[in-house]
Amino acid sequence: MFHSRNPKYRAPTGAVEAGAPVHFRITLPRELSCSAARLIMEREGDPAIIQDMFWCGMNGDNREWWECDFTPEEPGLYFYQFEARTCRGVQRLSRGERGWAVFGGTWRWQLTVYQAGFETPSWLEGGVMYQIFPDRFFKSDQEKAGLPAGRTYHQDWYEQPDWRPNQQGRVTNSDFFGGDLRGIAEKLPYLKSLGVTCLYLNPVFESHSNHRYDTADYSKIDPLLGTEEDFTALCQAAADLNIQVLIDGVFSHTGSDSVYFNREGRYESAGAYNSPESPYYPWYNFQNWPDQYESWWGFDTLPNVNETDESYNAFINGEDGIVRRWLRAGASGWRLDVADELPDLFIDKLSAAAKAEDSEALVLGEVWEDASNKAAYGVRRRYLLGGQLDSVMNYPFRDAIFAFLLGGDPKAFAEAVENIVENYPPQCLRLLMNHIGTHDTERALTVLGGEPAGSRGREWQSGQTLNQRQRETGVARLKLAAMLQYLLPGVPCMYYGDEAGLEGYRDPFNRACYPWGREDKELLDWYRALGAMRAEQKSILARGGYRTLRAEGNLLVMERYRLSVREDLDQVFRDSLLLVVNRSERPQSIMGLKLNLAGGQLLLGEPLGAVSVLRPYGCTLLKFHREIETNP
Sequence-ordered list of residues with C-beta below 8 angstroms from that of 569, at least 6 positions apart, any chain: none
What's the CA angle centered on 268, arms 265 and 270, to 5 degrees? 75
Task: Work out the number of other CB atoms within 10 angstroms of the CB of residue 46.
Answer: 11
Q: Are 463 and 430 in contact (CB under 8 A)?
A: no
Q: Is 248 one of the catalytic residues?
A: no
Name the pairing type of β-strands 16-17 and 109-114: parallel
Nearest to 203 by CA among 252, 154, 163: 252
Sequence-ordered list of residues with C-beta below 8 angstroms from that of 98, at least 6 positions apart, any chain: 5, 411, 414, 415, 418
CA 337 to chain centre: 13
Instruction: Determine the Cα–Cα distance for residues 171 and 165; give it in Å rounded to an integer.
Output: 5
Task: Work out the number of other CB atoms within 10 angstroms of the CB of residue 175.
Answer: 17
Task: Work out the number of other CB atoms within 10 angstroms of the CB of residue 598.
Answer: 7
Instruction: Determine the Cα–Cα distance for residues 549 and 317; give it in Å rounded to an integer.
Output: 46
At residue 339, the 3 state secondary structure works out as: helix
Can you say whether residue 229 is alpha, beta or left, with left for phi > 0 and alpha for psi between -120 and 50 degrees? Answer: alpha
Instruction: Determine the Cα–Cα distance for residues 514 and 13; give it in Å rounded to an integer.
Output: 43
Q: Is 337 one of the catalytic residues?
A: yes
Query: What ranges make up the beta strands (E) of 237-315?
Result: 244-249, 286-288, 292-293
Sequence-ordered list of residues with C-beta below 8 angstroms from that of 330, at least 6 positions apart, any chain: 231, 232, 234, 235, 236, 239, 245
Q: Which of 222, 230, 257, 366 is catalytic?
A: 366
Q: At what angle do helices 468-487 and 521-536 cross, to 10 degrees?
A: 10
Instruction: Determine the Cα–Cα distance for residues 91 and 36; give it in Å rounded to an integer.
Output: 11
CA dihedral 310, 311, 313, 318 (to 10 degrees): 120
Q: Which of 206, 214, 337, 499 is catalytic?
A: 337
Sequence-ordered list of residues with C-beta below 8 angstroms from that of 462, at least 6 positions apart, any chain: 160, 163, 509
Find the radius of gyration of the CA atoms of the chain. Answer: 26
Q: Which residues are catalytic?
A: 337, 366
